[in-house]
Amino acid sequence: MSKVESIDHKVISGISANSGIAIGNIVCINSNRRKVLPKSISETEVDTHLKIFKDGRSALLDELSGMLDYLDEQSGSIIDTQKQIVLDSEVEKRVESLIKNELLSSDFAVYKTFCDFIERLKESGSELFRQRIVDLENLRDRFIDVICDDDNSFSVKKGTILVTKELSPTELVSLHAEGLSGLVMEKGGITSHAALIAQSLEIPCIVSAKSATSKAFNTKGVLDGREGVLILDPEKELLDSYKSKLKKFKRAQKRLLDNINEPSETKSGTEFFLSANIEFESELNQLKKYNATNIGLLRTEGLLFSNKTAFDEQVWFYESVLSATEGSVTFRLFDVGGDKLNAKIPEEANPFLGWRGIRMLLDEKELLETQLKALLICAGKNKGRVKILVPMISVEEEIIALKAIIEELQNKLRNEGIKIDEKVALGAMIEVPSAALNAKNLAEHLDFMSIGTNDLTQYTMAVDRGNEKICSLYQQQHPAIWELIKITVEAAVKTNTEIAVCGELAGNVLGACGLVGLGIRNLSMIPNAIPRIKEELISHNDSEFNELAESFLAASNTTQIKKIFEDWRVH
């Protein structure tokens, strides 16, 4: 970074929207978006203009649908939303009224309609919503291009780094097909649609780069997505260092995919297990893609939300999950607050400190017993593969009470002559500080423990991550969290209890390395995190991980921990 700053007259900086390095020729487009002037039409032209609007709308919808092939699910849903906006009934009503009643041309009618909505959004003063303005302006301009049959699109040569005021998702996808290697935009935030699509297409991207189009000129350049800088006309030394970085990056990417089929072992030969967090059936096909045998966390709340809690419906869902893999599946019992159960239950003042998880389940016997019975029957049919995980345990009594219920149900099933798994594994989420601190006593009753770092962080740091004013305090990598994890691991070792981590920390490279350093071998994460975690874990030996974990525990804040990790990684 210091190298870059010293020559800041040739550097354009912004906010990193997607990491990665691009080296190529800069093309700078410094055009202003079109201005559409009011044009009056005669009464006889009204029908023609109504038709132009409708035809333009279907052409734009076709264009948007055509993009879906290029995109992953998340970016695809952006396009779906754009289609919905184009088809908006209010837009139709207003445009048609402007054409019919005010006798305005179709292009201006569309322009004015969108501008009215954009103005309202501008007035709202909310930063998150302001980012949507760029997206709406892009959609408006594309709509008008299509109506006027103007081809305002431009093409780029392979390897080009584009500097522009803004770009619509449609334009970005078509430029990507032509070989765009990097993107710098003056407008837009990291959640603007173009930025999200850049992430999906893996194009290095910088946003909010102030006056980039007036500073940039057409020359050779290096875009460092992670640092959020575009270096114009770099000196040879700098260029060479980026060339080798880029080479390394590309090699790493290839290795990442090759690694999927490699054995999961650290350099010292210690085996580790990366399993998947799954919530919906639609995610099950990712297990094969990322070579995950076990599901380390199956969320079952979806059944509650979609009202599929009847015994048969549950069995059907659990069986379909079990049939998607040969490995084990850790089923977490319904993890919700009581208000999700019944709209009549009044909202609590502090729902996250309230009647939820096991606290609610022990009171709602029928709900709990139906779920347990469904799981126990599936366990009987799939011996050794069903694990039951209990959310929100804060005291030992909760586990004792639950175990008694499970035992009773098992006895009943046995007496009815139904096949059961005598050794069905029972585990607790360690997500409340009291559970972590008391883990050695809890573990006596358990087959396994799974640390949920998301809630553990929320409860330890006393932070609601959804609250924008304080969300920076939501630090999963804070030394206090590492300390609680260490205490839990020690309890697991002492009682010979299996230990896993299923929170976000496990799917984070820094987190995974530290957790392995503490002796944890089972990490469960969103499936697409598996390749990069595996890449890191097979690249170091056990003593390196142990040293890392020890320095984490010795650190006094999260900034230090991040620094320690960066140094450790390049070392």
Partner 1 sequence: MIKKKITIKNSSGLHARPSAALVKTASKFSSDFFIHFYGYKVNGKSILGVMTLAAEHGAELELEFDGSDEKEAMKTITELIDNKFGLKDE
Q: DSSP assignment of 117-134, as one string?
A: HHHHHHHH--HHHHHHHH
Tell me whether residue 35 or residue 469 sits nearer to partner 1 (CB atom). Answer: 469
The secondary structure of residue 221, as a DSSP letter, is E
Q: Does 128 bind partner 1 (CB under 8 A)?
A: yes
Q: How far apart are CA 4 and CA 81, in angstroms?
A: 39
* Residue 242 near residue 39 (C-beta atoms within 8 A): no
- Among residues 64, 107, 55, the alpha carbon closest in space to that of 82 is found at 64
Would you state the structure tokens that stand for residue 480, as one six-digit string? 């206090």
148 as an active site residue: the answer is no
Specify whether the CB–CB gap between 314 and 308 falls below 8 A: yes
Is 90 one of the binding residues for partner 1 (CB under 8 A)? Answer: yes
Phi and psi at 15, nearest 5°, equal -105, 135
Please identify which residue in 89, 101, 342, 350 interacts with partner 1, judged by CB under 8 A. 89
CB 90 → partner 1: shortest distance, Å? Answer: 4
Q: Torsions phi, psi of 29, nearest 5?
A: -110, 115
Please work out the total of residues on this chain that contact partner 1, with binding judged by CB under 8 A: 32
Q: Which span sits near partner 1 by CB under 8 A: 82-90, 267-275, 363-371, 516-524?
A: 82-90
Cα 426 to Cα 378: distance, rounded to the nearest angstrom:
14
Choose which of 149, 240, 279, 397 interacts with partner 1 (CB under 8 A).
279
Q: With CB under 8 A as the contact rule, which of the stretches 319-327, 336-344, 380-388, 515-523 interacts with partner 1?
A: 336-344
Nearer to partner 1, 86 or 180 (CB): 86
Can residue 81 be called a binding residue for partner 1 (CB under 8 A)? yes
Q: Is 193 an active-site residue? A: yes
Task: Tell me how long the chain is.
Answer: 571
In angstroms, the CA 184 to CA 519 distance is 43
> Do the beta carbons of residue 288 and residue 351 sit within 8 Å?
no
Nearer to partner 1 by Cβ, of 90 and 235: the residue is 90
Which residue among the candidates 49, 176, 193, 478 is catalytic per the annotation? 193
Query: Which two three-digit tokens encode residue 496?
Result: 């010979």
CB 65 to partner 1: min, Å:
16
Tell me: does residue 350 bind partner 1 (CB under 8 A): no
Q: Which of residues 173-192 bind partner 1 (CB under 8 A)?
A: none
Q: Is residue 85 a contact residue for partner 1 (CB under 8 A)?
A: yes
Sign of CA dihedral 554, 556, 562, 567: negative
Instruction: Pick the binder of partner 1 from 267, 340, 445, 569 (CB under 8 A).
Output: 340
Residues 6+ apart with CB under 8 A from 424: 375, 376, 379, 386, 387, 388, 406, 410
Q: Which residues of 538-557 are buried (b: 16+ CB within 10 A; e: fewer)?
A: bebeeebbeebbebbbebee
Query: Which stretch, 114-122, 202-210, 359-367, 442-450, contacts partner 1 (CB under 8 A)?
Result: 114-122
Q: How far is the CB of 325 from partner 1 (least distance, A)?
A: 22
By CB under 8 A, name the one of 31, 40, 124, 219 that touches partner 1.
Answer: 124
Active site (catalytic) residues: 193, 502
Chain residues that interact with partner 1, rule: CB under 8 A: 77-78, 80-81, 84-85, 88-91, 117, 120-121, 124-126, 128-129, 132, 135-136, 279, 305, 339-340, 343, 454, 465-468, 504
